[in-house]
Amino acid sequence: MKGIVCEKPEVFKWKEQDEPKRQEGEAIVNLKRMGVCGTDLHAFKGQQPFFQYPRVLGHELAGVIESIDDNPYNLESGDQVSVIPYLECGQCVACRNGKPNCCTDMKVIGVHVDGGMCEKISVPYNHLVKTNDLTLDQSAVIEPLSIGAHAVRRSPVQKGDTVLVIGAGPIGLGVMAFLKQEGAKVIAMDISEDRLRFCRKWTQVDETIHALESPFETLKNMTNGDMPKIVMDATGNRKSMMDAFQYTANGGTLIYVGLVKSDITFFDPDFHAKEQTLMASRNATIEDFHYVKQSIKNNRINVSDYITHRCHFEDVMDTFHEWLKPENGVIKAMIEW
């Protein structure tokens, strides 16, 4: 079967691959959609932590089951599915405590093991969510939206809270959408006015701030000096993540949704004076996947506008570079078979 391998930073090559062999407890999935994530873009550019080359990218996946054994999840050949790409060990302290999303031996499809930039893959059937009642596009974006949903679930947000979300990429947009579902007052911050306009339209955020135009003073005025109770940074940018401490209210919570390949530092006396809480949010769980699926099914998430660019699998080599250019305004790119 055909596959595209990222051999080293900025180098894709077509490669004829062996058909996947289904092991016990797995299903063969014919891939039909693959969303392109910041992880894929960073890996292609050589900027992704915990990454080794060569690698077949792709973890935002939807397809149709080709073959599967009897299973307790009522999955059958012909079912349409969304893939949960986080392969946990099931034995470590995190897994035993119900947090498989931060397993000590995590293997993420498309990051630590080969992913979905190919025609079919073998996946543990307990990592498949049946989506016969959704479209393929909707099925493929459950994963990135689940990351945002998980971050919101990690947060202490309550109805009426003021929350700042920094970074209006696909993950940040998901965070904003699910915060709005919780009844929060959401302020979006980004360096792109186009992205901020998209926030206002797609997630109906309450306020927007341009990150390069005196954001601290603007935020202070917006909140009558209180500053946001919760700040969620989805940029994956070191400076943004460190600046976020100053935007968080006394007694407030800062949550890192994005990941950066760098050290993060902060001035401890200010951190202690505010008695802030610093949290990380990693990946998502099956509960998040089901929550997002239901939100999409109930028309609370507009997937058609979230997906802004697409191409056929055969055209990836010619198109992928274009999605890296900021001027092309990519929110979520989709590959289809």
d(CA 299, CA 303): 9
Number of domains in the chain: 2
- Residue 80 within a domain: yes
Based on the fold, state whether residues 10 and 134 are members of the same structural domain: yes
Based on the fold, state whether residues 223 and 265 are members of the same structural domain: yes
- What pTM was estimated for this model as a whole? 0.94
* DSSP symbols for 160-220: T-EEEEE--SHHHHHHHHHHHHTT-EEEEEES-HHHHHHHHHHT--SEEEETTS-HHHHHH
Based on the fold, state whether residues 73 and 106 are members of the same structural domain: yes
Query: Which CATH number does the domain housing residue 230 bear?
Result: 3.40.50.720
Tens digits of pLDDT across the chain (337 residues): 999 999 999 999 999 999 999 999 999 999 999 999 988 988 898 877 768 899 999 999 999 999 999 999 999 999 999 999 999 999 999 999 999 999 999 999 999 999 999 999 999 999 999 999 999 999 999 999 999 999 999 999 999 999 999 999 999 999 999 999 999 999 999 999 999 999 999 999 999 999 999 999 999 999 999 999 999 999 999 999 999 999 999 999 999 999 888 899 999 999 999 999 999 999 999 999 999 999 999 999 999 999 999 999 999 999 999 999 989 999 999 999 9
Based on the fold, state whether residues 104 and 205 are members of the same structural domain: no
Which pLDDT score is estimated for 51?
82
Based on the fold, state whether residues 165 and 215 are members of the same structural domain: yes
Query: Which CATH number does the domain housing residue 19 bear?
Result: 3.90.180.10
Closest CA to 306 of 82, 131, 135, 65: 135
Instruction: Tell me the residue type at 156.
Output: P
Which pLDDT score is estimated for 58?
96
Domain that holds residue 263: 149-280
- Residue 312 within a domain: yes
- Residue 297 within a domain: no
